[in-house]
Structure formats: structure tokens, C-alpha cells
Structure 1
Amino acid sequence: MSATTIDRPVAEKTPLTFGGVVRGEWVKLRSVRSSGLTVLGAALMMLVTGLVFASTVGSDSDGADGVTDPTGITLSGVMFAQLVTGVLGVLVVSNEYATGMIRSTLTAVPSRLPVLLGKVAVVVGTLFPTMLAVSFTVFLAGQAVMGGAKLPTAAVGDPGVLAALVGSAATMTGVAVIGVALGALLRSTAGAISTLVVLVFLLPGLGGLLLPASWRDDALKYLPSSASEAFTSVVPAPGLLGPSAGAAVFAAWVVVPLLLAAVLLRRRDA
């Protein structure tokens, strides 16, 4: 009897899809305890700050006459929560460089760009719905507090309120994406967080002190914090960009660092 040879197809290595990359990044994010604590910290920062401001706003001599933007009062925590979400964005990238895991990640995904986009997708998918829910919660709770104190209140259906709530969630998420970009650009937790703090929080004050008065206002309104205020405020401060222009400028602050990070990620060694 002659032996029969059975040809078996050689198993080909299946390329990792973008969906697989996103699932992998999601596993990384939720498996690190500090990630969940950071998201919780941002939510608590929003809630506590908004309710404290809502509880104390009518206690000064102006009373109810001093309340011109009830929505802005309850969303006062956005500027603080941005710092927390930005730190989360940085850590999503810089932690992998610190531990050396980035080499395994980039070996599994040689094209590299899906890794960065996967991190952004996971950060946006986690933060935006969370912070949107928190924005609505603190707004409704804060309006109830101010209404109980006989102070002016706002409703979701009032002009500009819904845009402010959605814009606030988008701003906090956008700062987190800037954090992702800075983490990929600098590959250092301390350096990326320091740069984020300067860019988003310190630069407006420094610009006000150092820039010549002749073009100070024109320059400062293009900073990320001022641009975001233009489309997240029901009663915006004088001298800001319009809502559409502010949104476009803020989007540029998010997209440009991300593009630079994508270029350097493909060109540099891990």
C-alpha cells in the first residue's frame, strides 16, 4: 500500500484589523486601575465644583442680580476637569514608553498609525459619553440648587445651553486627545503633562503679562482655553471668537499635534 500524502495549507498570519487594535487598547485602558480612577476624578471634579459654585453664587452682596449665566456657574468645573482628562490622555501613551510595552505594541502593528488612532478612539469613546452625562447631571443638579435659593436658573432648551453642555464634554475630551498627542510626541510623562499644563492653563495668564498690549487680545483669543470658551459659554466674555470660529480653532489645536505625533511615530524608533 502506497502512502498518501495529504497537502495541508500553510496557515497564513492574519493581519491585525483596526477593530482588533481598538479592542487591544481598550483592554489596556481598563486593566490599569489608575485609568478608571482618573475618569472618576474628572467626573467628581465637575460635580463638586459645579455644585459648590451653585450653592455659593448668591451669597455675595449682588445676590440674584449677580447671576447672569446660570449655565456657566454649574459648568465651572470644566476648567479643572480638563487637567485630569488631559493627564489621562498623556498616560495612555507615556506609560507604554515608560514600561517598554510600546515595542511589543508596534511590533504587533508595524504600520504604527492604527496604534495612535486606536488610543484616540478609546480615549474619545470613554471620555465623551462619560463627561457628557456628567455635564448634564451637574447642570440639572446645580439649577435645582439655585432654583431652591430663588436665583435665576436655565433649562436645557434655553438658547445656547445644549451647545454649552455638549461643547463642555467635547472640550474635556479634546484636551485628553491633546494629551495623547503630547505623550506620543515627547514620550515622557512629566514632559507631556508639563507642556499640557502650560499650553492649556498657564499660557493665557503668561500671555496677558508678557505680550504687548497692542496685539495681546488678538493673540490670546486663539489659545485653546479661549477658543473653547467661545463655544461653551452661553454668555461669552467680550473679545472672544464666535462659536463656530472658536470650535474650528480648538479643533486645530487638537488635530495639528495629533498629525505631528503620527508623523514622528512612523519615523522614529520605538
Structure 2
Amino acid sequence: MTATREAGLTFGGVLRSEWVKLRSVRSSGLTVLGASLTMIVAGLVFASTIGTDSDGADGVTDPAGITLSGVLFAQLVVGVLGVLVVSGEYSTGMIRSTLTGVPSRSPVLAGKVVVLVGAVFPVVLASAFIVFFAGQAVMGGAGLPTARIGDAGVLAALVGSAVTMTGVAVIGLALGALLRNTAGAVSALVVLVFLAPGLGGLLLPVSWRDGVLKFLPSSAAEAFTSVAPGPGLLTASSGAAVFAAWVVVPLLVAAVLLRRRDV
């Protein structure tokens, strides 16, 4: 009996369990699809309307960035999915059964992360390439400047955008594990990833803004996903390191609290 029970606690078994739970909830697949469509549709809308302003073609300085504009909106969608991967189990009480079957608990969180990354990253990476090529075709047909996949920084921007979206999904998962409440975790995610730059610009003293805002998740991500980064950002490598810290640190805290707190 003991040997059988221990054999059932392999990490592979935990992964299969988490994958079954994710795919068995219909809204999970629809959410990933929604993020993909949001990214593609928004990018094509920006690509088709960018030349209609007064600047025309002269205002297009980053054709790749224009087609990736939908990443900002799609991040919220995958972030909410990340929250629900954990908070959904707490709301239904299923987490008790999950942690009873895996008493060490940490493999559960690790399994959720692996499954979430595996479900999100390939889809958003494919979506980034689709919207890039489609958007460049739209802009080229309108006589606007375009970018090619081999241009400096373009491939890094495409892969970096997919990494950023996946990272935001993992941040959502960590917040869901920390707060155990869907509304609270989603609110915290929105504030951290989307509202903090604007709020910081309004509330922080002028002397602090440049030194603080560039370390926020969205600004750090912009540093390594932009073909033509704006002024005041970190270097690409520093931005990637800071963004990775925003992903890893909440996960580590969530792992510690998962082991220490009662269900």
C-alpha cells in the first residue's frame, strides 16, 4: 500500500492531474483562445489605422511594435487565467482534495506553473508571429513602413512578447495562491501590471519617478520587447532580469505560504 501510494506522488502524476483539471474546464481553453484573438485583432486594428492620423507614414517609427500593440490587452486575459488556475480550486473546495493527495504541496504549485506555461506560451508565441506577418502585410498594402523578421530586434520582440504574456499569467497564478480569492487576486494583478505605471507617475515625487517606474513589471518588459525602446528604460538584459524577479519572487512566497498555511 505504501509503495503504491508513493508511486502515485511522482511529479509526472501531479502534472497529468493538473493538465486534466485545466483542460476539463471549458473556460480555460476559451480564455487562451480569447487572449490569442485579442492579440491578433487588436494588432491588426492598430496596423490598419496607424496611417490615418495627421503624421501619416512619417509617424510610423516601429512597425513591429504597432502590430504587437494587442499584447497589452491580451496580458489581462492570460493573467486572469493564471489567477483562476489556483483561486478556482479554493472557491470550490477542491484544493483540499488536491493537497490531501500531495501532502508535500510544493509539487502542486510547480505542476500548475508547468501546465499553465505549456498551455499559454505556444499559443501566444504563434499569435505573435501571425499578427506580425499579417500586420506588416496590412501596413505594406497601405504604403506604410514595414519591418521584416530579420530586422534588428524584431525576433527578440516577438519572443519577448510571448514570454511577457506567459510571465503575467504566472504572476496571476502566484497572486491567486497568495490571496486565495479571485476578485482580490485579479484586482492586485490589474493594479500591479496595468495601473501602477500611471498611478506612480501621478503620485510619486518627480525626483523618484524615473528611478522607480522603470522597475515596474510593464516597464521592465518593455525594455526587452521593444524594437525601439523609449528613453528612461532599463537595458534589455536588465529589464529581463527585473521582470523575471517579478515572476519568481511571488511564486517563491506563494510556495512557502502554501506549505505553512492551513487549507
Match of 2:5 among 9, 14, 28: 14
Q: 1:11 to 1:197 in 2, by over 3 A?
A: closer
Deviation per residue, 1:24-74 (Å, 9 max, x gap)? 100000000110111011001101100000000011111111100000000
SS at the partner of 1:173? Answer: helix
Larger radius of gyration: 1
Q: What is the identity, as a one-letter code, of the residue corresponding to 1:32?
A: V
Deviation per residue, 1:132-152 (Å, 9 max, x gap)? 000000000000000001110
Q: What is the identity, as a one-letter code, of the residue corresponding to 1:110?
A: P
Q: How many residues are matched?
A: 261
Taking the aligned partners of 1:70 and 1:94, their CA distance within structure 2 comes to: 38
Q: What is the identity, as a one-letter code, of the residue corresponding to 2:4?
A: K
Whether 2:227 is the aligned partner of 1:234: answer: yes
Deviation per residue, 1:76-104 (Å, 9 max, x gap)? 00111000000000000000000000000
Superposition pairs of residues 206-217 of structure 1, within 5 angstroms? 206-217=199-210
Q: What is the identity, as a one-letter code, of the residue corresponding to 1:126?
A: A
Taking the aligned partners of 1:211 and 1:204, their CA distance within structure 2 comes to: 10
SS at the partner of 1:214? Answer: helix
Match of 2:78 among 85, 91, 111: 85
Q: What is the identity, as a one-letter code, of the residue corresponding to 1:47?
A: I
Deviation per residue, 1:151-182 (Å, 9 max, x gap)? 10001110000000000000000000001100
Give the aligned partner of residue 6 of structure 1.
Answer: none
Superposition pairs of residues 35-46 of structure 1, within 5 angstroms? 35-46=28-39
State the identity %: 79
Consecutive aligned runs of 4 or more in structure 1 exceeding 6 Å deviation: none
Give the aligned partner of residue 203 of structure 1.
Answer: 196
Taking the aligned partners of 2:233 and 2:252, their CA distance within structure 1 comes to: 27
Tell me by how many angstroms 1:12 deviates: 3.3
Taking the aligned partners of 2:23 and 2:148, their CA distance within structure 1 comes to: 35
Taking the aligned partners of 2:3 and 2:210, their CA distance within structure 1 comes to: 60
Taking the aligned partners of 1:194 and 1:60, their CA distance within structure 2 comes to: 34
TM-score (norm 1): 0.95
Whether 2:51 is the aligned partner of 1:68: answer: no
- Listed as ranges, the gaps of 5+ residues in structure 2 are none
Match of 1:260 among 248, 253, 256: 253
Tell me by how many angstroms 1:14 deviates: 3.5
Give the aligned partner of residue 143 of structure 2.
Answer: 150
Q: What is the identity, as a one-letter code, of the residue corresponding to 1:121?
A: V
Taking the aligned partners of 1:11 and 1:179, their CA distance within structure 2 comes to: 36
Give the aligned partner of residue 122 of structure 2.
Answer: 129
Give the aligned partner of residue 3 of structure 1.
Answer: none
Give the aligned partner of residue 26 of structure 2.
Answer: 33
Q: What is the identity, as a one-letter code, of the residue corresponding to 1:14?
A: R
SS at the partner of 1:132? Answer: helix
